[in-house]
Amino acid sequence: MKKLAIGCGVLAFLGICVLILLAIGGGSYNHLVRLQQEVNKQWAQVQNVYQRRADLVPNLVATVSGAANFEKSTLTEVTAARASVGQVKLDPASAPTDPAKLAEFERAQSQLSGALSRLLVVAERYPDLKATRNFQDLQAQLEGTENRISVERRNFNEAVQAYDTAIKTFPAVFYAGIFGFKERPYFNATPGSETPPKVQFDFNKPAAAPAPEKQ
């Protein structure tokens, strides 16, 4: 009888331990799900702001092409860069797990960023174009969008960092891979990639007088 009582006590203890482990594991699993959903939400935000910029390009190109003798090669470069962005197909609702695919996406977006920056530089040579209301509005929208891109990229990287850290810590490290929680890649912090292009809106502001030469 005494042995039976001891056996029942051991079984009860083991049962309690199993329940505790299940509770810890269940809480950890639910935590990973929440972090994964946050990563996917931030990825959708990144996709949205990049799409917003792509949607501005046709109107910007149409406005700029109306300027006499505007450099056609610059317009062609912007149009080609936008087309390249559209060729990179990624799920808008789920963040990529393949670093190569994210790098391809980032390269295409960087090419479009560079092409748009060069277009704005060229536009500085056309005062009549810069003075038009439509062009000024498009510049303002582009600057706002570039700022949002920087913000959403940072938010995405922060969400990925929290998620990647969680799947590598106890107890998730033992089961995360089994349940499909894979590590997510970051956006690279390349020099200047987080800095939106500068846009000058003071079109009617006279240029500053040169400083007098020292005698």
Where are the chain's structural domains? Answer: 50-197
Residue 67 banded pLDDT, cuts 50, 70, 90: confident
- The runs of H, that is alpha helices, within 88-132 are 99-123, 127-130
Residue 28 — pLDDT band, cuts 50, 70, 90?
A: confident
pLDDT, tens digit, for every residue of 83-115? Answer: 999 999 898 889 999 999 999 999 999 999 999
pLDDT at residue 68, rounded to an integer = 78
pTM of the full predicted structure? 0.77
| Residue 27 predicted with pLDDT over 90 | no
pLDDT in tens, 114-155: 999 999 999 999 999 989 999 999 999 999 999 999 999 999
* Chain mean pLDDT for the chain: 82
Q: Is the dihedral of CA 166, 170, 173, 179 positive or negative?
A: negative
102 residue type, one letter: L
Asked whether residue 201 carries a pLDDT value surpassing 60, the answer given is no
Q: Tell me how far apart the alpha carbons of residues 100 and 188 are, in angstroms, rounded to a whole number.
A: 12
